[in-house]
Structure 1
Amino acid sequence: MMTHSNETGVAGPQTRRTLLARAAGLGVALIALGAAMPALAQEGASEELIAAAQAEGTLTYYHTSPIDLTNNWTAAFTEKYGIPTQNVRGPSYPLWERWLTEERVGQHIADVIQITDTVLIEAADEEGLIADYTPPSAAGIRPTMKKEGVWYTVFVNAMGIAWNADQVTEEEDAMLREADWSVLTDPRWAGRFATGTPASGGSSYSYVYMFLGGERDQFGPEFLEQMAELNPQVYESKAPMYDRMAAGEHAIVDQASQSDMGSFYLRGAPVRWVFPSPTPANLTVQTISENAPHPNAARLFQEWATSPEGQAEWFKYAGVMSAREDTVDPRKEAGADWYQEDWYADPEELYLDYLSDPAYVDPAKPIIGEWNAIFGR
């Protein structure tokens, strides 16, 4: 049965809503991190929605973020509302295809879906598979980081180059600290380097798009051909690539996200990372399934995830950038964790132009085929 959001935010029965034409263009401004953590605003969910969500008793969350980070993050939601979450993690595109297939055959499992490709969400919305819900707290999300009623950014991630400090020499460590992207073509990394396929998900696709799409004149296929000559190990998902780099199986990896590297750092892994310019960044966003088995829990979770409290919860586990201006990482001003390290520097120039690039929204995603040909996939 189809559901909708009424004025109280509580889901009830309804026929399928009229599909609205959605604009594909999107622009994102550079994030400026503030100096201090403000008091968290009391935004939010109505008592009626909370009660309805608690009566449903559970939530199923399909997500692309590392499982340990996500378990910690959603545990805060469970502690606050008493609603346990079933977290199902997978690479972005395969997980999305799984959800689409389930929905199309009437097997409704996921309540909330997290992904790094807004184009796919908007296509599913046109198909009638996305719930129309605007959480009150989402008023604080930057206007360019949401599509009202459809998807909302939960965090922003910069991507650079990471290395295992135990697997490089002092000379290599010094070189990496000052590296631009050309370091990925240095012959010294032959057999010591790993990368991820752009077919794995939106973050990998947006990363590769900079080289083969938006900044093709600066990089282009010749640059990637030099990388491919080093015979890097190619991963279908970035999570195991990061794990094995942190464990010492690879000296360096690309597509190294701030959130994942921060998590390894906090666990004591010998990881370091750098952000050459321009630095690809991606939005990690959430949407609610139109046929969510637990629609009220889904709406409550979306409300919490977009609130200052939900956004700030990520700072305990990762180095993400918030989608809210009023929610910033307090460790930066305090000079704590990786901010105290002499090797660390914030990205100077985020590459987000792809979000307003018409070629980026091409559903055929031709750069995947081009990348596969270069890397012999």
Structure 2
Amino acid sequence: MNSSRLAAAASALILVAAGVAGCAPPEKEADGAVTSSGVKAGEATSAADFGGMDGLVAAAKEEGALNVIALPPDWANYGAIIKAFSEKYGIMVNSAQPDAASQDEINAANQQKGKSTAPDVFDLGQSVALANTAMFAPYRVEKFDEISDSFKDPDGKWVNDYGGFMSIGYDSSQVPDITSVDDLMKPEFRGRVALNGDPTQAGAAFSGVMMAALSQGGSPDDIAPGVEFFRKLNEAGNFLPVDPTPATIESGQTPVVIDWDYLNVVETKKLPSWKVYIPNNAVLAGYYFQAINADAPHPAAARLWQEFLFSDEGQNLYLRGGARPVRANSMVTAGTIDMEAYRVLPPVDGSSQFVSEAQNDAAKKYLEANWAKAIS
């Protein structure tokens, strides 16, 4: 999502020999497979339409491939997640544009509609997701009822899969310790503060500006103070208009990065001097939106991918990447969460704030009208 995701290596292809096992493969029609219940795979709203998980697995294996987009290996452990899914089901995963932004995912789906290369699934920031729900297919995973109503569309057109808190990551060998957002205005931070993308297009950057707004007396209803903060930061010469990546962080090119805590935490394992700060007066929480492309070329594989992501295995893989799985509470209760990974999540001091759909829409409109001129 470069903007919305960390830039990563060029598009990768993970291939594991596909095979069909378990249930008999579904009948094929010119416009796609038909499930055992007579519902087309692209219209299935749960695994029950396939006769259960075994039927869904068989249908997905028959398709033999899954197209994902904008999933860098270093983002929320997606490298390991893709590998685990591919190996478990013997399905080829085509990973396109790992450095793309959320809006790029939507653009790709529109540009490639009807083609075998179109994205099957989306992983989107809130602004882009809520603006494009007409493109999503409703689907309720087996664990759907364990997910809070506030983190899902009631029909499953989108479901939050993982999240975290907006943070400031910094190289303590290059800049002083950060104890407030206001510290970023100091002369010691000249040309050093990077934001992960364009907030009019990328979820991480949008949330970074919102975090700044909260720290400056704004609220989820008022992002204007955040835009003003970045205007002043740019005027002071402290704003660095470079999209941060693992490479820019580790080379020292972007010594201060405003981004999700799980992305900044990953860097602490590679750069011992890298620290992560979550402002106690601006504790902004956010989740990414998982959805199925209504025109997915591999509709059964897309639905199996959802089942995997929301299973205990998939949720724990997010957790091992430093992200906070949406099913964490129920998994703690059930004793299925990876407690070792759960205990090392960054501490949060302060009341969490979320941005609602209405607040998101209003903030996005404000950014579209004011962001470019604020940092020009």
When normalised by structure 2's length, the TM-score is 0.75
What does residue range 74-113 of structure 1 map to in structure 2 within 5 Å? 74-88=82-96, 89=98, 90-103=100-113, 109-113=118-122
Is the 1:130–1:150 Cα contact (8 Å) retained in structure 2? yes
Q: 2:339 maps to which residue? A: 330
More contact order relative to length (CA 8 Å, sep ≥ 6): 1
Q: Give the partner amino acid of 1:202.
A: G
Q: Output aligned runs, 1:136-155, within 5 Å.
A: 136-147=142-153, 148-155=155-162
Confirm or deny: 8 A CA contact 1:9 1:46 kept in the other structure.
no
The structure-2 alpha-carbon separation of the partners of 1:98 and 1:13, relative to structure 1 and needing over 3 Å to count, comes to: closer
Q: Deviations over 1:196-254 (max 9, x none)?
A: 4213412322332352763648945543332112322213x45x2x5312321233122
**Judging changes above 3 Å, is the alpha-carbon distance between structure 1 residues 228 and 9 closer, same or farther for their aligned structure 2 residues?**
farther
Name which of 62, 72, 79 aligns with 2:80. Answer: 72
1:230 correspondence with 2:239: no
The aligned counterpart of 1:199 is 200
Shift in Å, 1:282: 2.0
TM-aligned CA deviation for residue 311 of structure 1: 0.6
Quick check: 1:96–1:115 contact (8 Å CA) kept in 2?
no
Aligned partner of residue 324 in structure 2, secondary structure: coil
**Is the contact made by 2:68 and 2:93 (CA closer than 8 Å) also made in structure 1?**
yes
Equivalent residue number for residue 248 of structure 2: 244
Counterpart pick for 1:313 among 305, 312, 317? 317
1:78–1:146 CA distance, 2 compared to 1 (3 A):
same
Question: How far does residue 154 in structure 1 lie from its aligned partner after superposition?
Answer: 1.5
**Distance of aligned partners of 1:6 and 1:130 in 2 relative to their CA distance in 1, 3 Å threshold:** farther
* Residues 313/288 of structure 1: CA separation in 2 closer, same or farther (3 Å cut): same
- Name the structure 1 match of 2:277: 274
**Contact map agreement 1:150 1:287 (CA 8 A) in 2:** yes
SS of match in other structure, 1:167: coil
2:162·2:287 contact (CA, 8 Å) conserved in 1?
A: yes
User: Does residue 288 of structure 2 align to residue 284 of structure 1?
Assistant: yes
Q: Secondary structure at the match of 2:164?
A: strand
CA contact (8 A) 2:68 2:94 kept: yes
2:66 corresponds, among 59, 82, 90, to 59
TM-score of the two chains, using structure 1 as the length reference: 0.75
1:86 aligned partner, one-letter code: N
Change (3 A) 1:213 1:98: farther
Shift of residue 139, structure 1, vs aligned partner: 2.2
Matches of 2:254 and 2:296 in 1, distance apart? Answer: 40
Letter in 2 for 1:139: D
Q: Deviations over 1:108-136 (max 9, x none)?
A: 6111111112x54454343xx32222121
Q: Give the 3-state SS of the residue equivalent to 2:249 in structure 1.
A: helix
RMSD of the TM alignment (CA)? 3.2
> In the aligned structure 1, how far is the partner of 2:231 from the partner of 2:70?
32
CA distance 1:297–1:259, shift in 2 (3 Å):
same
Quote the Cα distance in structure 2 between the aligned partners of 1:213 and 1:62.
32
CA distance in 2, matches of 1:157, 1:84: 29
Q: Offset at 1:189?
A: 0.5
CA contact (8 A) 1:141 1:306 kept: no
1:8 Cα deviation after fit: 6.3
Which residue is equivalent to 2:257? Answer: 253
Alignment correspondent of 1:20:
none
Q: Is the 8 A contact 2:42 2:294 kept in 1?
A: no
Q: Which letter maps to 2:159?
A: Y
What are the ranges of 5 or more consecutive residues in structure 1 without an aligned counterpart? 18-43
Assess, with a 3 A threshold, how the Cα gap between structure 1 residues 188 and 13 changes in structure 2: closer, same or farther: closer
1:350 corresponding residue in structure 2: 352
Distance 1:217 1:154 in 2: 25
Q: Does 1:164 align with 2:171?
A: yes
Does 1:46 find its partner at 2:53? Answer: yes
1:13 Cα deviation from its structure 2 partner: 6.8
What is the number of equivalent residue pairs in this alignment? 324
Distance 2:34 2:269 in 1: 40
1:364/1:3 CA distance change after superposition, 3 Å: farther
**Are 1:301 and 2:308 counterparts?**
no
Q: Secondary structure at the match of 1:345?
A: coil
Tell me the residue number matched to 1:33: none
The one-letter code of the counterpart of 1:307 is: S
Preserved CA contact (<8 Å) 2:285 2:352: yes
Q: Which residue of 2 aligns with 1:367?
A: 367
Change (3 A) 1:7 1:243: farther
